[in-house]
Amino acid sequence: MSAVRAIGASTLDLLQSAGRLAIFAVQGVAAMFAPPFFGRQLFRQFYSIGFYSLPVVGLTAVFTGAALALNIYTGGARFNAEQIMPQIVALGITRELGPVLAALMLAGRVSAAIAAEIGAMRATEQIDALQTLSTDPYRYLIAPRLTAGIVTMPLLTLAGDIIGVAGGWLVAVATLRFNSDLYIRNTWSFLQSWDVISGLIKGCVFGFIIALMGCYHGFNSSGGARGVGRSTTNAVVSAAILVFACDYVLTSFMR
């Protein structure tokens, strides 16, 4: 009976956590559309989440595109199908690797930063001070970060797509002796608009998840400095897991 009791307690804890997260998400989304709007906070989050994340997303994309091109060429050579490499690289980057890898980079960088910042504000009672000053913390802290995540993540995904495809092209032309014009022509003629749009839709969802996990764990942080560190770790892990889970669900609907 102790084993059954432990399983039941774990299940109830999981359902309670899911319920608290759902309520927090609804309150955060509602705060995005309710005045007053804090433009300075919003611009600061755009700059922090979007601009500062561009270098890491670009480096990840270019090396991923280059490695993907080499692996596809090696596999295609076994079937005398090396010429399909440009099409597969472009499709893999735009539909899957671009949004997912960008999301994982932001989960490690943005979710951790948001959780640490809001968790430190919780530990030093700054959030309580906002409520004392009649400032809704959801509108001041949560809404700008959610909005910035939703808006900037597709832009970073698009930049990652371009840089990743360029990385594949660079390796193909410089190392594998592909014709540059033919490579670009094959890539351009093969890609469809839905391939890019589906990746951007994933980027919107992933951006919301990344910002939400950072805000949720930071906002509910407790236990001082140790609690802030625990919240930061939980934010990164939960964001990465939800990105993979939502990626499968979205891919199933948008294939």
pTM (predicted TM-score): 0.90
Q: Is residue 115 part of a domain?
A: yes
Q: Is residue 184 part of a domain?
A: yes
DSSP state of 84: G
**pLDDT higher than threshold 80 for residue 2:** no
Q: pLDDT tens across 32-46, in order?
A: 888 888 888 888 889
Percent of the chain at pLDDT exceeding 90: 24
**Spatial distance between the Cα atoms of 142 and 146, rounded to a whole number of angstroms:** 6
Q: Is residue 84 part of a domain?
A: yes
**Spatial distance between the Cα atoms of 89 and 66, rounded to a whole number of angstroms:** 9
Domain count, the chain: 1
Q: Is residue 1 part of a domain?
A: no
**pLDDT higher than threshold 90 for residue 9:** no
**Spatial distance between the Cα atoms of 182 and 158, rounded to a whole number of angstroms:** 23
Burial (CB count <10 Å: 0-12, 13-18, 19+), residue 38: middle
Q: Is residue 19 part of a domain?
A: no
Residue range of the domain that includes 220:
38-254
Provide the pLDDT for residue 1. 62
Q: Is residue 8 part of a domain?
A: no
Q: pLDDT tens across 174-231, in order?
A: 888 888 888 888 888 888 888 889 989 999 999 999 999 999 998 888 777 788 888 8
The gap between the terminal CA atoms of the chain, to the nearest Å, is: 45
Q: What's the alpha-carbon Rg for the chain, to the nearest Å?
A: 21
Question: Residue 12 — φ and ψ, nearest 5°?
Answer: -65, -40
Q: pLDDT tens across 79-128, in order?
A: 777 778 888 888 888 888 889 999 998 888 888 889 988 888 888 888 88
Q: Is residue 31 part of a domain?
A: no
Distances (CA, A) of 20 to 26, 157, 210: 10, 30, 17
Helix, strand or coil for residue 134? Answer: coil
Q: Is residue 22 part of a domain?
A: no
Average pLDDT over the chain, rounded to an integer: 87
Percent of the chain at pLDDT exceeding 70: 99
Q: pLDDT tens across 142-184, in order?
A: 999 999 999 999 999 999 999 999 998 998 888 888 888 888 8
